[in-house]
Structure 1
Amino acid sequence: MKIVVTADTHLKETGKLPARLTSEFQTADLIIHAGDWKTADVYTELASYGDVKGVYGNIDGDDIRERLPAKQMLTIAGFKVGIVHGHGDKKTTERRAIESFADEHPDVIIFGHSHIPMLRYFKKQLLLNPGSPTNKRTVPYYSFALLEIGDDIHAELVFFSDKS
């Protein structure tokens, strides 16, 4: 199963999703968004490509919060995938994401909020922050992630410089 993972799209600030991201949606089995959609229009656009799962982030209004939970657990091909935005007080975004699923023990934890792409293991959990495809802040490239789940899990970050 090919999953495109994104977060922190902040669409109203950028106008549209980048072609590098939307081209991957064409062949995705699932799209996961880890919050800070900014507008429900992003959900509508992603849903036009296929199945969408996700959570709301700290900047999302009631239109997103009524549609999506604060955290979500999916089971895909026998693997547990947790999704959370990662915002909150104290601790790092990564630590807050890990602690959000302390009792569920997912195989993969997907989170956003920091706009800093990250792919690493913490103990036996794969931590995946796709960064942002539209608002790179202090990192040199825009980014999203590809997650392949079948007999095992393969993840990669995709970096690009042209957000048009």
Structure 2
Amino acid sequence: MKITILSDTHLPKKGKGFPDELISDLKVSEYIIHAGDFQTVDTYNRLMEFGEMTGVAGNVDDEELKEILPKKTKLVLNGMKIGIVHGDGSGKTTEKRAEEAFNADPVDLIVFGHSHIPYLRYHQGVVLFNPGSPTDKRRQPMYSHGVLTIEDESKWSIQHKFYS
């Protein structure tokens, strides 16, 4: 199973559309995960055209999105437990806030966003993954998103895709 992971699209504020590199992965993915800051319901709806998606609300999402999307959620795909949260808040690092969001609900992978900084780290039995942003790289050298491939709960891989 191939899953495209993205966050912090910030459309239409940060661009007119999705980059070709992201669209290529979206077209062949079986599932999409978005870790918040779509910006608008239109962006959410455009992503849904590519297939089934689970997303969470981010701090800059409009009120309509905040009403339909949770702040955090958990899903199971091919036996793998995945936690999704945007990661915004005060105090601590974005990574620490994301990790603490699932302290009481064990997962294999935590997908988060907010910082726009690509991040992949194994910490205390859990993989923490921030895909970066495909449309708003801020001070990062490249745009990015992620691809998760799952065979089963014990055999999976995750990676960033980088582009300019």
1:65 counterpart residue number = 66
1:160 counterpart residue number = 163
TM-superposed CA distance for 1:62, in Å, is 1.3
Q: Distance in 2 between matches of 1:154 and 1:72?
A: 21
Q: Distance in 2 between matches of 1:50 and 1:121?
A: 29
Q: Which amino acid aligns with 1:143?
A: S
SS of residue in 2 equivalent to 1:101: coil
| Structure 2: 5+ residue stretches without partners | none
More displaced stretch, 99-108 vs 61-70: 61-70
What is the 5 A alignment of 1:33-72?
33-72=34-73
SS of residue in 2 equivalent to 1:145: strand
Q: Which amino acid aligns with 1:2?
A: K
2:11 counterpart residue number = 11
Deviations 1:92-142 (A, max 9, x none): 000000000001110000000000001110121011100000000111000
Deviations 1:57-97 (A, max 9, x none): 00011111122100010011111100000000000000000
1:139 counterpart residue number = 140
What is the 5 A alignment of 1:59-138?
59-138=60-139
What is the TM-score with the length of structure 1 in the denominator?
0.96
SS of residue in 2 equivalent to 1:17: coil
2:29 counterpart residue number = 28
Aligned pairs, number: 161
Q: Distance in 2 between matches of 1:46 and 1:60?
A: 15
Q: Distance in 2 between matches of 1:50 and 1:76?
A: 15
Deviations 1:31-73 (A, max 9, x none): 1100000011111111111001010000011111122100010
Runs of 4+ in 1 over 3 A off after TM superposition: none
1:150 counterpart residue number = 151
Q: Distance in 1 between matches of 2:44 and 2:157?
A: 25
User: Quick one: percent identity of the two aligned structures?
Assistant: 47
SS of residue in 1 equivalent to 2:68: coil
SS of residue in 2 equivalent to 1:150: strand
